[in-house]
Amino acid sequence: MSAAETTTAKVPPRRHSSPPAGDGRPSAAPRRTRLRLGQAATPWLLLAPCILVLVLVLGYPLIRLGTLSFQDYKKPQLWGFKPATWVGFDNYRAILGDSEFWSVVVRTIVFAGFCVLFTMVIGMLVALLLQRVSPWVRTLINIALVASWAMPVVVAVTVFKWMFDSDYGVVNWVLSQIPGVDYSGHNWFASGPEGLSVIMMQVVWGAIPFVVITLSAGLTQVPKELEEAARLDGAGAFGVFRYVTFPIIKPLVVMMTTLSVIWDMGVFAQVWLMRGGHPEPEFQLLTTYSYDRAFGVNDYATGSAIALLTVLLLLGVVAVYMRQMLKIGEVE
Amino acid sequence: MKRKLIAAIGVATMIVGVAACGSNGDSGKSSASSITVWLTVDAQHNWPELVKAADDAIIAKHPGLKVKHEYYAWPDKNAKLDAVLATDNAPDVVEMGNTEMVPYMAEGAFAEVDPSKFDNSGAWLDGLKQSVMYDGKTYGVPYYAAARIATWRKDVAAAAGVSAAPKSWTELTGDLDKIQAKEGAKFSAWYQPSRDWYAAMSFVYDAGGAIAKQDGGQWKASLEDPAAIQGLNAWKAIEAKYMHGDLTKDESDRYIVYGQGKSAMMYAPGWEAPSAADPKFDKTGGKLKDNLVNFVLPGPSGKNMPVFLGGSDLAIPSKSKAQDLAAEWINDFTNTKGQQVLMGKGNLPNNNTQLATLESDPASAVTAEAAKISWFVPTAPGWGTVEKAKTLQDMLQAIATGKKSVEQAAKDADSAIDKVINVKN
Amino acid sequence: MSAMTSSRAHTGSAPAVAAARRRRNAKLGWNALGLLVFALAAFPVYWMLNTAFKPAKDAIDPTPHFFPYPVSLENFRRALNISDFWGPVERSLIVSASTVVIGAAIGLLAALAISRFAFRGRKVVIVGILTVQMVPLVAMIIPVFLLLNQIHQIDKLSGLVLTYLTFILPFTVWTLRGFLVNIPKELEEAAMVDGCSRTGAFLRVVFPLLAPGLVATSIYGFIQAWNEFLYALLVMSQEHETATVWLGTFTTQHGTEYAPMMAGSTMMGIPVVILFLLVQRKMAAGLTAGAVKG
């Protein structure tokens, strides 16, 4: 979730149209020239601890990830009994030539795609619904959303595993109450697609609150008069949404979709725990696959190469994100 | 502005102070004032008193010594071990499955031990002794061996009109059919988790098949051979007819499931039945304690089912900083008295001297009898990788859930095994 | 006459009444839908509590019991019995609190730098900090493990704190920046005219205005650190495991003991949920403050 709430802070359309008054630029301008000489170092000193941490724990490992992926690095190297040797592109050749890797890639993309789609669509619908219900219903929904938002992933996974248990799970029981349907003893994790759908439900359930809460905040920015005017002009509910509401919150939606893609491509704990720490082949996503290669089969180099390929795969999404960031940078 | 700078430095200093509070000072050092022992959860759940006795014995000799314990489930243990061996926090004693030793010994992960320092080392069971030897040197101490036996509930059998434990495969399936019919479709006449490959492979070996065969120094997977296929089919029939629990599970919580009372029979290491009957796990209202009956599992071939002769060894990582104390603890844990405790839990001892006493004791005669026909995993250089990749488990689950045919699943598993079985990792 | 008036009155207001009724009906429909959403969203939490508080035997009854009756604490006892619970909780608290405090301090400094100073490279820093959250942290686990090993931070809480800082710093910096930008410099200057030192002005004027932002970022950081699983699993030994790993191993090793597992989940999840609920108003305000006035 790390980037989540930042969106709220940076995307809203308003800030582009009305330059922030508090940016301090007008009043700072004369001072800046005065201070530049002596104080150039101060902001860097203030930034130092933050940058130090980020470079140490993120920058350096990122480089290490790259070098690892070109090495032969297994248990003896990890334990320091043998030096790592360079193997060029061998790891990548092995991975890219492995049909299992490609099926994992496709599975990950499909899984993340549906997660994002459901998260955004349902999140949007609930946010719109929240504007239409009575205050007490809104409060109830808000409490439920906040509760599922705050729920630690490990806890949520455990609860979902229990709800979908084949023998004593409540979901099977409820479904079996439908006449003509017998789901008792049904095993949701016997098949990969079905099991991943359950995991998807859990991911979406956990991701919706953030989307709803952020979009709700965004929706309050939509001028009521505009909607009213559109309605008077004969636009239907969908028309109003399509031509008035959506364009206003669109930047918000784009940002949240981008972030959702990044998070949903990075789903790990849900799959890992739901499958008891050992996802079967048809449950492997890029993250678990990389982890499994590294810490399961002790091929740390191949695991790193897969991780790096995952990052590369995300680059397209990153590009969108970066463009948004640069826009903000311009406003600064 | 200078003040701002000073304030910044002040805050930074505070951060450093807080960082110091946040760290956990004592965790890093592993001096000889303490040793860390890694065992599997089997010991934690089933013979904690033996662990305690060994701790007491060594502390009596070295007052002030602290013995720390960590317990891991079998499937998680080695991943954790591999990671920790990279650090300077290596444990001093670690339990290893007898099939897991080879790669670690070959890579130099374990320290050599002197067998003469351990009780009964002259009479160690062959299977276990071999598993701790590499290049003529000894790198571990046998802990115990386990044979699998069948256990069922005589109350459930009697309710279905069955009075005696089965002696042949036909009798067994006939009895299970009756029990299954009597108890209904939600009940498992035989709770046999599909991912329990030790049981499934017994069917393969019973039919004359093998996981892999050696040919001119090279290993080749042989699950596609007709004999192995026949064994897998017999196993699949059992799963389909009698196993109505979760088909995606392994055997690690079998005794807990069995304790819930929704199954009649299981095929498991000797200690599992008593554990299921423990009031902690027995959810039937105490029925298990008096109704569990052990018997030797007959195989479809007409002989007794070949059992996987599993076992555990204890090894000392070469990075341990307290190797002498570790060896001492191991001996306190595996001495003759300790083995007696383990035998009382339904296990086989680590030595032939004590094994001889088993057969005369009616409580353990079934285990001793079952152990006579056994099989063992291929002693191939890449076998450890096969186990870690869970190839067999995934194959069995695919068969049991009907996702793949027996032939297809065996073929896929063979090609996956062939890729790694001759490769030294 | 009276009939006429009433009928006229009636015809006169009919559309209005109908519209009102339609609106009421629509509202009813929306509310019903809203309640359905509430039920779906809340069900997992309800089911967790329900299972945790009922006798263990009821939990494995194929026909579910929808209310924990009789209420039993047996599952909690069993969960606490299986392995030490308070140790992991204490460690999680230490890690989360340290992460929050250090994160807020470092983040505040950085936020000050990018909101109160104009300097060359400022834009690069801003974009850099924001880009950092793009890196999927799961992908970094192998080299981070090697790094922590190199600097002897494996199996140490400080190693975890260091790692978690990178999770929360970008958010903290950005949110605090949003608050700082909204505090007019004139306020500080006025205080300084009144005789405050710069630090004094900062502490007395800026800091109180910053408080909601600090609360929001602190809670966010706390929850991130409290919930993290993967790094804690790999970095910490069992002796020093954190609360999420405690529950995670419970789940993988005692997969069948659902009722105690739900009790464990309750103990782990509810405090966070309560904390979150208590401050959610403030947090939402904090978050949207950045959004609206950014």
Q: Is the pLDDT of residue A31 over 60?
A: no
pLDDT in tens, A38-70: 467 888 999 999 999 999 988 899 999 999 999
> Quick one: closest CA in B to A39, which residue?
B1
For chain B, the structural domain boundaries read: 33-146+310-374, 148-308+376-420
Tell if the CB–CB gap between A187 and B247 is shorter than 8 Å.
Answer: yes
Tell if the CB–CB gap between A75 and B390 is shorter than 8 Å.
Answer: no
Residues of A with CB under 8 A from a CB of B: 35, 38-39, 42, 45-46, 49, 74-76, 78-81, 165-167, 184-185, 187, 189-191, 276-278, 280-281, 295-298
- The answer as to whether C46 is a domain residue is no
pLDDT in tens, B137-168: 999 999 999 889 999 999 999 999 999 999 99
Helix (H, G, I), strand (E, B) or coil at B149: strand
Q: Is the pLDDT of residue C107 over 90?
A: yes
Closest CA to B290 of B310, B273, B266, B268: B273
Helix (H, G, I), strand (E, B) or coil at C101: helix
Q: Identify all chain C residues contacting B28, using CB atoms and an 8 Å cutoff.
A: 152, 155-156
Shared domain for C113 and C252, answered yes or no, is yes
DSSP B347: P
Q: What percent of chain C has pLDDT over 70?
A: 88
Superfamily of domain B148-308+376-420: Periplasmic binding protein-like II (3.40.190.10)
Q: Identify all chain A residues contacting C265, using CB atoms and an 8 Å cutoff.
A: 155, 158-159
Tell if the CB–CB gap between C38 and A140 is shorter than 8 Å.
Answer: yes
CA distance B279 to chain C (A): 12
Cα atoms in the Cβ-side hemisphere of radius 13 Å centred on B243: 25
Tell if the CB–CB gap between B246 and A166 is shorter than 8 Å.
Answer: yes
Report the 10 Å Cβ neighbour count for B22: 21
> Quick one: closest CA in C to A127, which residue?
C34
Closest CA to B257 of B248, B245, B267: B245
Tell if the CB–CB gap between C156 and B86 is shorter than 8 Å.
Answer: no
Structural domain count of chain C:
2
Tell if the CB–CB gap between B82 and A298 is shorter than 8 Å.
Answer: yes
- The answer as to whether C108 is a domain residue is yes
Superfamily of domain A88-331: MetI-like (1.10.3720.10)
Residue to test with chain C: of A1, A2, A91, A211, most C Cβ within 10 A: A2
Place of tokens 């695991």: A303
For chain A, the structural domain boundaries read: 14-68, 88-331
pLDDT in tens, A204-217: 999 999 889 888 88
| Dist CA C272 CA C89 (whole Å) | 12
CA distance B239 to chain C (A): 20
Mean pLDDT along residues C46-51: 93
Whether the link from the prior residue into A43 is cis, omega within 30° of 0, is no
DSSP B150: E
Q: Identify all chain B residues contacting A296, using CB atoms and an 8 Å cutoff.
A: 79, 388-389
Q: Contact partners of C by the rule of 3+ C-beta pairs under 8 A?
A: A, B
Report the 10 Å Cβ neighbour count for B393: 22
Helix (H, G, I), strand (E, B) or coil at B69: strand
| Dist CA B321 CA C25 (whole Å) | 76
Query: Is B385 in CB contact (< 8 Å) with chain A?
Result: yes
Report the 10 Å Cβ neighbour count for B116: 8
Q: Is the pLDDT of residue B83 over 80?
A: yes
Helix (H, G, I), strand (E, B) or coil at C155: coil
Mean pLDDT along residues C261-282: 81
Shared domain for C264 and C161, answered yes or no, is yes
Q: Are B166 and B172 in contact (CB under 8 A)?
A: yes
- The answer as to whether C56 is a domain residue is no
Tell if the CB–CB gap between A153 and C142 is shorter than 8 Å.
Answer: no
| Dist CA A47 CA C228 (whole Å) | 26
CA distance A115 to chain B (A): 25
- Give the domain extent around C133: 76-293
More confident residue, A93 or B77: A93
Mean pLDDT along residues C256-272: 86
Helix (H, G, I), strand (E, B) or coil at B37: strand
pLDDT in tens, C139-189: 888 899 999 999 999 999 999 999 999 988 988 898 888 888 878 878 777
Tell if the CB–CB gap between C106 and B28 is shorter than 8 Å.
Answer: no
Cα atoms in the Cβ-side hemisphere of radius 13 Å centred on C108: 24
Superfamily of domain B33-146+310-374: Periplasmic binding protein-like II (3.40.190.10)
Q: Is the pLDDT of residue C285 over 70?
A: no
Chain B to chain C, count of Cβ pairs less than 8 Å apart? 103
Interface TM-score (ipTM) > 0.85: no
Q: Provide the pLDDT confidence category of residue B362 given band limits of 50, 70 and 90.
A: confident
Query: Across chain A, where does the E strand assignment appear?
Result: 71-72, 85-86
Which pLDDT score is estimated for C45?
94
CA distances from C86 to B203, C79, C210, C268 (A): 46, 11, 34, 11
> Quick one: closest CA in A to C136, which residue?
A266
Which pLDDT score is estimated for A307?
93
Which pLDDT score is estimated for B29?
35
Q: Provide the pLDDT confidence category of residue A20 given band limits of 50, 70 and 90.
A: very low
Mean pLDDT along residues A244-258: 85
CA distance A46 to chain C (A): 5
In sequence order, the β-bridge partners of residue B149 are B268
Q: Identify all chain A residues contacting B401, using CB atoms and an 8 Å cutoff.
A: 187, 190-191
Tell if the CB–CB gap between C154 and B89 is shorter than 8 Å.
Answer: yes
Which pLDDT score is estimated for B21?
38
Q: Is the pLDDT of residue B375 over 70?
A: yes
Q: Provide the pLDDT confidence category of residue B425 given band limits of 50, 70 and 90.
A: low
Mean pLDDT along residues B334-362: 88
Which pLDDT score is estimated for C289?
46
Q: Is the pLDDT of residue B30 over 60?
A: no
Q: Identify all chain B residues contacting A75, using CB atoms and an 8 Å cutoff.
A: 82, 85, 103, 107, 109, 425
For chain B, give the mean pLDDT: 87
Tell if the CB–CB gap between A298 and B425 is shorter than 8 Å.
Answer: yes
Mean pLDDT along residues B159-185: 94
pLDDT in tens, A127-145: 999 999 999 999 999 889 9
Closest CA to B56 of B333, B334, B342: B333
Query: Is B116 in CB contact (< 8 Å) with chain C?
Result: no
- Given A49, A80, A167, which is nearest B12 (Cβ)? A49
Looking at residue C104, which CATH number applies to its domain? 1.10.3720.10
Closest CA to B207 of B224, B222, B226, B227: B227
Contacting residues for C24 by C-beta, under 8 A, at least 6 apart? none
Q: Is the pLDDT of residue B274 over 90?
A: no
Which pLDDT score is estimated for B263?
94
Tell if the CB–CB gap between A278 and B390 is shorter than 8 Å.
Answer: yes
Closest CA to C112 of A266, B333, A331, A44: A44
| Dist CA B245 CA A189 (whole Å) | 13
Q: Are A168 and C61 in contact (CB under 8 A)?
A: yes
| Dist CA B267 CA A83 (whole Å) | 46
Q: Provide the pLDDT confidence category of residue C281 given band limits of 50, 70 and 90.
A: low
Mean pLDDT along residues C90-110: 94
Shared domain for C259 and C152, answered yes or no, is yes
Which pLDDT score is estimated for C88?
92
Q: What percent of chain A has pLDDT over 70?
A: 85
Shared domain for C28 and C91, answered yes or no, is no
Q: Is the pLDDT of residue B5 over 70?
A: no
DSSP letters for B286-336: S-HHHHEEEEPPBPTTSSBPPEE-EEEEEE-BTT-S-HHHHHHHHHHHHSH
Which pLDDT score is estimated for C124?
85
Residues of C with CB under 8 A from a CB of B: 56-57, 60, 62, 78, 91, 94-95, 98-99, 101-102, 105-106, 108-109, 112, 145-146, 149, 152, 154-158, 161, 197-199, 202, 234, 237-240, 249, 252-257
Which pLDDT score is estimated for A39?
64
Closest CA to C291 of C206, C182, C192, C189: C182
Q: What are phi and psi of A11, to 5 degrees?
A: -90, -35
Cα atoms in the Cβ-side hemisphere of radius 13 Å centred on B368: 17
In sequence order, the β-bridge partners of residue A160 are none
Tell if the CB–CB gap between A47 and C144 is shorter than 8 Å.
Answer: no
Tell if the CB–CB gap between C149 and B87 is shorter than 8 Å.
Answer: yes
pLDDT in tens, B201-229: 999 999 999 999 988 889 999 999 999 99
Mean pLDDT along residues B75-100: 89
Tell if the CB–CB gap between B22 and C102 is shorter than 8 Å.
Answer: yes
pLDDT in tens, C196-253: 777 787 778 888 888 878 888 888 888 889 989 989 988 998 889 999 988 888 776 6
- Given A46, A190, A277, which is nearest B248 (Cβ)? A190
Q: Is the pLDDT of residue C22 over 60?
A: yes
| Dist CA A256 CA C157 (whole Å) | 33
